[in-house]
Amino acid sequence: MERKTEQPRRRPRADYLRNRERLLTAAAEVFRTHGGQATLEGVAKAAGVGIGTLYRHFPTREALFEAVYRREINEMVALAERLEGEADPVAALRQWVHANIRLIATKQGMLTALALAVDKSSEIYTYSYTSLTGAIARLLARAKEAGRMREDVTPEDLLLTLIGMCLVRTGPGFEDDVTRLADLFLDGLTKGQGDSGGM
């Protein structure tokens, strides 16, 4: 029996990739400003494309939200990689935590997405949990190697505590409140050189 030659997978066209990026950027802004009231029609309009184009990329609102969330996660991973070059490993870890809180504070709906990171029944659980704990692990390892962090603290400890803080604090002053709590928590884990976030 003659074997069929496997055809090489075609790369996405440039206009396809451009439209996808425009949709993700627009969706992030629409979700931020409208939260749970955001509509796919509103996202398509903000991106300057037709609703049919949006549905070709993201057939459901959930699929679009997940794609936006994945991009946010990737940004946090990239930030951790950049911060590995910082001279002070504890300051680098603190900066990453602050950036994460700032991201959540400025994007309505991201709290719900963040909760998915600890919801093992969600499809995005493995991706988000692995990515975020991996990002924390890179920075935490440097702090431990420098003798600046308790040896028994784990990336999972930090992530779950951060998520808990974000979920229990809502309303005006959210970012300042959670940042203060996160600093108190980190101060309790660090040792040496008097490191403090200092609001």
**pLDDT the model gives residue 7:** 52
CATH code where residue 78 lies? 1.10.357.10
Q: Mapping DSSP to helix (H, G, I), strand (E, B) and coil, where does residue 149 land?
A: strand
Residue 94's domain comprises 65-189
89 lies in the same domain as 134: yes
Q: Do 93 and 140 meet the contact criterion of CB atoms below 8 Å apart?
A: yes
Q: In three state form, how does the secondary structure of 82-98 look?
A: HHCCCCCHHHHHHHHHH
User: Number of folded domains in the chain?
Assistant: 2
Residue 197 resides in a domain: no
Instruction: Indicate the average pLDDT of the chain.
Output: 83
Highest average pLDDT, of 2-6, 49-53, 98-102, comes from: 49-53
**pLDDT the model gives residue 199:** 41
71 lies in the same domain as 138: yes
75 lies in the same domain as 142: yes
Nearest CA among 191, 95, 102, 81 for reference residue 144:
191
Element (H, E) at 16: helix 14-34
CATH code where residue 38 lies? 1.10.10.60
Q: Which amino acid is at 192?
A: G
44 lies in the same domain as 82: no
104 lies in the same domain as 36: no
Q: What is the pLDDT of residues 78-92, one digit of tens each?
A: 999 999 999 999 999
**pLDDT the model gives residue 13:** 80
Residue 88 resides in a domain: yes
DSSP structural state of residue 146: T
Residue 195 vs residue 142, higher pLDDT? 142
- Does residue 198 have a pLDDT over 50? no
Q: What are phi and psi of 131, to 5 degrees?
A: -65, -45
CA 26 from centroid of its chain's CA atoms: 17
CA 34 from centroid of its chain's CA atoms: 19
The token pair that represents 46 in the structure block: 């903000």
Nearest CA among 71, 48, 85 for reference residue 131:
71
Kindly indicate the confidence band of residue 174, based on its pLDDT and cuts at 50, 70 and 90.
confident
- Report d(CA 84, CA 10) in Å as an integer: 36
Task: Compute the average pLDDT of residues 121-134.
Answer: 81
Q: What is the pLDDT of residues 48-87, one digit of tens each?
A: 999 999 999 999 888 888 888 888 889 999 999 999 999 9
